[in-house]
Amino acid sequence: MRNIKLTIEYDGKRYLGWQRLGDSDKTIQGKIEGVITKMTGEEIEIVGSGRTDAGTHARGQVANFKTTTEMTREEMQVFFNRYLPNDIVITAVAEEPERFHARYNAKGKQYSYYVWNHAVPSALNRNFSFHVPQKLDIEKMNQACEKLIGTHDFAGFSALKKTKKSTTRTIQNLTIEEEGNLLHFTFEGNGFLHKMVRILTGTLIEIGLGKLEVSVIDEVFETKIRQEAGETVPAHALFLDRVDY
């Protein structure tokens, strides 16, 4: 039995997220599994590094699956990209040891979020950035970023319901780069809770607009109350850049 690792790029705009849904074929996982069955004749469930929400994109999602096919990695990649929709691309196919697991072996991830910060919206960036017309105070936002870096309980910055699992995560790096009118938020960490990046970004934006103070970061860490943090920004401006192993 071979263990195949896929690196996947996709435009999530027309999909209901990564995870396969029983009554819908509009998921990334479902589309890829359909092509694997066509390719190998086997009913196979692929394992992703994690779920991405409806509308979220990926430059470097990772998944693995077990198969008995004798196709070469190059042949598999060609087959995938011939039969997958053109908004899902397999950028790399690798063979891994039997015990490799795309989710359990992941050591960290990087996400990007894009904000178009100008009074006039962008026709070209509208599908991949969130429009904020008011001028943002980047200095205050950077002060808040510094508070978020490190190991903290991010329960108040997530959409998780009550859970027995740990909500402590480590953010190693969090930056905001100004690329003209486009703000590029980069989050690097050992793992992220449900909607955590979108809630953190929404909180930073509200700090930049003066709706929240920088001190809200410490307050939410202490209270763990989701409602005290900022809004959840839309998914269409979020990208999973890479998964580290």
pLDDT, mean of residues 179-192? 97
Tell me the C-alpha distance between 232 and 242, whole Å. 22
Q: What is the pLDDT of residue 21?
A: 81
Q: What percent of the chain stands above pLDDT 90?
A: 95
Q: What is the pLDDT of residue 20?
A: 87
Residue 191 has pLDDT above 90, yes or no: yes
More confident residue, 25 or 188: 188
β-pair partners for 115: 130, 183
Active site residues: 53
> Do 47 and 119 belong together in one domain?
no
> Do 230 and 148 belong together in one domain?
yes
pLDDT, mean of residues 167-185? 97
Last residue of a domain, one of 96, 131, 149: 96
pLDDT, mean of residues 134-143? 98
CATH code for position 91: 3.30.70.580
Domain of residue 152 covers: 108-244
Q: What is the pLDDT of residue 238?
A: 98
- Say which residues have a Cβ less than 8 Å from residue 182's Cβ, sequence separation at least 6: 114, 115, 116, 117, 125, 129
> Do 131 and 60 belong together in one domain?
no
Please state the domain count of the chain. Answer: 2
Q: What is the pLDDT of residue 22?
A: 74
Q: What is the pLDDT of residue 162?
A: 74
Summary mean pLDDT of the chain = 96
Tell me the C-alpha distance between 53 and 71, whole Å. 32
CATH code for position 156: 3.30.70.660
68-86 pLDDT per residue, tens: 999 999 999 999 999 999 9
> Do 135 and 208 belong together in one domain?
yes
Last residue of a domain, one of 73, 96, 119: 96
Q: What is the CA radius of gyration of the chain?
A: 19
> Do 75 and 18 belong together in one domain?
yes
Q: What is the pLDDT of residue 23?
A: 66
pLDDT, mean of residues 43-51? 95
C-beta of residue 188 within 8 angstroms of C-beta of residue 174: yes
